[in-house]
Amino acid sequence: MTQIIPIQVAIIDDDEEIRANLTHHISGNPAFRLTQSHPDAESAISDLPRREIDVVLVDINLPGMDGVECVQQLKRKMPGTQFLMLTVYEDNNRLFKSLMAGASGYLLKRTSPAKLLAAIKEVHAGGSPMTPQIARRVVQHFRHAPDTDSGLEKLTPREYEVLDQLSKGFRYKEIADHLSISIGTLHFHIRSIYDKLHVHSRTEAVIKFLKR
């Protein structure tokens, strides 16, 4: 019987009750393992880059440094980690900024436990849970951005293959299977792609690829 490797999750939220609820739901499912929980961006930035974490849930309204800046700093240090924003209201402007900073999607804090866990699985598999309105803003932003050195010419043939698969919407496991590589090797290629294209998220990398 194949052993299930749990998704390593961390939480950054200043609301103690919300942290407790998230901890309860995540820890109660064998498909997940809660690695760390932090009440602010500063302690998370100091601690999380030293750990192996797959998905981080980040409150967009953190005290001190806000969630957008927190993700921007962590994504630079943890390019293979996926970030999901947690928000009470659909503040389109701040959510858009968080996606530009490197987040892969977002969740409303009132999301049901089942949808919460499904979203964590989705983003870990390479998806980007967000509303069509937010997705449209992301696409429009890059569509109207000035063309500069894309960095695509710096990619190796294998990295180009990975990016092509990402642009077609395949999830990470599907890409690894298609290319006959491990998930770890895939994450290595994705980190290299991000570095060469000077981007922080799958969305940014794919838009650059599609504009070639």
42: Cα separation from own chain's centroid: 19
Quote the pLDDT of residue 147.
55
Quote the pLDDT of residue 96.
79
Whether the per-residue pLDDT at 154 is higher than 90: the answer is: no
Share of the chain above pLDDT 70, in %: 89
Quote the pLDDT of residue 17.
92
Give 120-147 pLDDT, tens digit per residue. 988 888 777 776 666 666 666 666 655 5
Number of other residues whose CB lies within 10 A of the CB of residue 30: 8
Quote the pLDDT of residue 133.
66
Using 50, 70 and 90 to split pLDDT, how confident is the model at 97?
confident
Contact 142, 211 (CB under 8 A): yes
Mean pLDDT confidence for 165-188: 87
The two tokens of residue 189 are 């290629």
- CATH 1.10.10.10 assigned to 143-210: yes
The two tokens of residue 207 are 């838009």
Give 9-21 pLDDT, tens digit per residue. 999 999 999 999 9
Quote the pLDDT of residue 143.
61
Quote the pLDDT of residue 46.
94
Quote the pLDDT of residue 166.
86
Pick the CATH number of 7-132 from 3.40.50.2300, 3.40.1360.10, 3.90.228.20, 3.30.365.10: 3.40.50.2300
Quote the pLDDT of residue 20.
92
**What residue ranges do the domains of the chain occupy?**
7-132, 143-210
Whether the per-residue pLDDT at 99 is higher than 90: the answer is: no
